[in-house]
Chain A
Amino acid sequence: MVDVLTTTINAVTISALYALVAIGFTLIFGVGGVLNLAHGAILTVGAFTAYYATSALGLGIWVGAAAALAVGGLFSAAMYLGMIRWVQDEPILVMILTLVTSIAIEQFFVVTVGTQAKAVPSLLPGQLTFAGLTVQTNQALTFVLSWLLIGGLVVAVNYTRTGKAILATSMSAKGAALVGIESDRMYLYTWLLAGALAGIAGVFLASYRTASYTMGRGPLILSFSIVVLGGIGSIRGSVLGAYLIGFLEVFTVSYVDSSLSGLASLVVLVVVLLVRPEGLFGRELAEA
């Protein structure tokens, strides 16, 4: 019984992280209409930013996490400004460019850090006990922070001027342009936001597991599954998809076979693509 509960807690935590990654991925696709295959690599950037901040510069992990948030966001924004902005009308080129970028980022870390995995400290060490159940404080923090960020994002998108402008751009870039919204700026904000979310998710992921140069691959592929399952461009679809995929993965690994890690969600992805490519919620933020 306790075992099932522990697994559930693990699943909830990891799902909260996946939600952060998938929301960024879906935002970029929903608003800008491009698939960012380097999104997973930004997790790696975030994780190693935190690693360097804590181990090389001797800063606290909270500073490291803040740095990861900033560096992830700025890196993503720089990718948009330096590269994607020029080719965003060519989806194929965007995919190749971002895929090759992710390989370049991975190789950069291979060269600078090496292939050995690095430990990143927990943001909140220790354990919490309630109702006879022990939870890592770090896990609880992930869950809370994830929902705070998602909640903040939903509020921002629906109630602020910039958020509404982003939403408008996602619905119709032409229509938004007609009412004076600069779509390029909205795309930039989206990339910034997505990168920041991925950066912070990378820190948490590295604190559970470790930071390694390939750590972004799994979450990227899972993001596909999540986003396709939830419906590309849909925030609530992505959150729901993240929890479905997170639970599926954790329970498969715990109760079926640990070597199946990743396989279950890949199969789900393929099945959804073949059976219902529009996902559970369709494309909320799509151009009509």
Chain B
Amino acid sequence: MSEELPTDAETDSEADASRDLIDPSSVGLRHVFGAIGLLALGLLPLGVDRLLVLKLTGALYFAVFAMSWDAVSGYTGQISFGHALFFAVGGYTSALLNLHWGFDPALTVVAGMAMAAVAGVVVGVPALRLEGPYLSLITLVAPLILLQVFVVFSDIFGGELGLASPENLLVFESFETAITANYYLAFGLFVGVLALLLAVTRSDAGSVFTAIREDEDAVAAAGLNPAKFKIFAFVLSAAVGGLAGAMFVHTPVGNPQPSQLLVLTVSIEVIIAAVLGGMGTIVGPAVGGLFFYMFRDYLGGVTATVPVLGAPIAELDLLLFSLATLVLLFVLPGGIVRGTIGLGRWVLRRGGRDAPQTVPDGGEPQDREGPLERTLASYREAFDDIGNSQEEDHEH
């Protein structure tokens, strides 16, 4: 029984993650890792190859895009199969304004974001009337329609080939400086969106999003208007996705082309990335997005061929990812981030199992553990204390 207590406490503390973030004494190990990860991302461009920094810039925008998908689909359960629509609306609006009218990218990015928000209303309003599968159908179809429009009006939108590259947001004399500056711009957006979406999803509105996913009727019965929250989620998500798309086209890596912004595979790639990372967590899709983009890029550069198929690994990337996602959905439906947290807790608990409480006389157990286990066990103890005190607070 006593072993069950920490688990309950963990769930409690998960629900109160926002309080955890503010209260330094209760910062969990995973938050420490998260902070280390962010720090590493922040320091990375100082030490690595410029080309890699350029790719990481793209990965950061893709991760922002994945987070925007998660805000609506992972939380409200209104699965969007066409999130590329928002990415593309943002990117194309910004690129067109810059290319045809010469507006400054800093302005056009905002316009792109606004247009994407409008697109979010256009897609989100049907959410008032339509239930899950029908809504997913609409979202699946919306970017296909947009692509058709782009093809029909090729003289404006460039059709299947896309538009020329618009100006970069940050221009410097030296290309190297420009790359680093663009990276930090992307990194800033990444951190900002991460913080924003974490705040929103951990707020009361976020709880309503999750409640809509679980049981929309119950939300309505509780006197809340699910449609209002759905539209809010859609518009927020669309604006963030559009912002990512708009800024992405103004970097050396991104171009306003359907293949990068709009085609069906883009919509599905973002789902794969989010599912791989762990949908419904915001952090998961952020990690999943970075991982997906960078690992695909790495696979694309591998020249070795697979012996049986006789095909180069470079061509297998999306196949591998889709198969991995299928397997992961069964084995670890929560995704990598949740899985890692779960594994960490399991390790911690294992460490804790041999710890004091199992020794009948109250003394120290046999010293069979290595330093790592000891460290983990002490962490575990600290966790238990925090958890137990919280538990008692709740009980009494």
In whole angstroms, what is the CA distance A224 to B330 when docked?
27
Q: Out of B137, B151, B323, B330, name the residue touching A273 (CB < 8 Å).
A: B137
B81, A260: Cβ atoms closer than 8 Å: no
Known A-B contacts A262-B148, A266-B145, A273-B130; the reply to A107 vs B318 at CB < 8 A is yes
In whole angstroms, what is the CA distance A193 to B275 when docked?
31
B135 CB to closest chain A CB, in angstroms? 9
In whole angstroms, what is the CA distance A11 to B319 when docked?
35
A107, B322: Cβ atoms closer than 8 Å: yes
B151, A259: Cβ atoms closer than 8 Å: yes
Is A141 positioned at the interface, with any CB of B under 8 Å from its CB?
Answer: no
Is B329 positioned at the interface, with any CB of A under 8 Å from its CB?
Answer: yes
Is B132 positioned at the interface, with any CB of A under 8 Å from its CB?
Answer: yes
B326, A107: Cβ atoms closer than 8 Å: no
B128 CB to closest chain A CB, in angstroms? 10
Is B295 positioned at the interface, with any CB of A under 8 Å from its CB?
Answer: no
CB neighbours (8 Å) of A101 from chain B are 322, 326
Q: Identify which of A47-55, A60-68, A92-100 touches chain B.
A: A92-100
* Chain B positions 340 through 358: 1 when the CB is less than 8 Å from some CB of chain A, otherwise 0: 0000000000000000000
Q: Which residues B331-373 have CB closer than 8 A to chain A?
A: 333
Is A263 positioned at the interface, with any CB of B under 8 Å from its CB?
Answer: yes
In whole angstroms, what is the CA distance A187 to B325 when docked?
25
Q: Which residues B59-108 have CB closer than 8 A to chain A?
A: 77, 79, 81
Q: Out of B141, B152, B316, B329, name the residue touching A96 (CB < 8 Å).
A: B329
Is B315 positioned at the interface, with any CB of A under 8 Å from its CB?
Answer: yes
Residue of A nearest to B78 (CB): A92
Q: Out of A35, A95, A100, A263, name the residue touching B325 (CB < 8 Å).
A: A100
Known A-B contacts A95-B79, A273-B138; the reply to A103 vs B265 at CB < 8 A is yes
A99, B81: Cβ atoms closer than 8 Å: yes
Range of interface residues on chain A? 35 or more
In whole angstroms, what is the CA distance A263 to B149 when docked?
8
In whole angstroms, what is the CA distance A270 to B126 when docked?
10
Known A-B contacts A100-B322, A107-B319, A221-B141; the reply to A277 vs B130 at CB < 8 A is yes
**Inter-chain CB contacts under 8 Å: number:** 100
Q: Identify which of A108-116, A153-161, A172-180 touches chain B.
A: A108-116
Residue of A nearest to B330 (CB): A86
Is B27 positioned at the interface, with any CB of A under 8 Å from its CB?
Answer: no
Is B42 positioned at the interface, with any CB of A under 8 Å from its CB?
Answer: no
A267, B318: Cβ atoms closer than 8 Å: no
CB neighbours (8 Å) of B265 from chain A are 103
CB neighbours (8 Å) of B268 from chain A are 99-100, 103
Known A-B contacts A104-B319, A266-B145, A270-B145; the reply to A96 vs B275 at CB < 8 A is yes
Is A217 positioned at the interface, with any CB of B under 8 Å from its CB?
Answer: yes
In whole angstroms, what is the CA distance A104 to B130 when docked?
29
A38 CB to closest chain B CB, in angstroms? 11
CB neighbours (8 Å) of B325 from chain A are 100
B132, A260: Cβ atoms closer than 8 Å: no
B326, A100: Cβ atoms closer than 8 Å: yes
A96, B79: Cβ atoms closer than 8 Å: yes
Q: List 10 A-B contacts (CB under 8 A).
A: A101-B322, A101-B326, A104-B322, A111-B319, A224-B140, A266-B144, A269-B137, A269-B141, A277-B129, A277-B130
Interfacial residues, chain B to chain A (CB-CB below 8 A): 77, 79, 81, 126, 129-130, 132-134, 136-138, 140-142, 144-145, 148-149, 151-152, 264-265, 268, 271-272, 275, 309, 311, 315-316, 318-319, 322-323, 325-326, 329-330, 333
Interfacial residues, chain A to chain B (CB-CB below 8 A): 35, 83, 86, 91-93, 95-97, 99-101, 103-104, 107-108, 110-112, 217, 221, 224, 228, 257, 259-260, 262-263, 266-267, 269-270, 273-274, 277
- Pairs of residues from A and B, 5 with the lowest C-beta to C-beta distance, nearest first: A107-B319, A104-B322, A263-B148, A111-B311, A103-B322
Given contacts A99-B268, A108-B319, A260-B148, 20 further A-B contacts (CB under 8 A): A83-B326, A91-B132, A92-B132, A95-B133, A96-B79, A96-B275, A99-B271, A103-B265, A103-B272, A107-B316, A107-B318, A111-B315, A259-B151, A259-B152, A262-B148, A269-B137, A270-B141, A270-B145, A273-B126, A273-B130
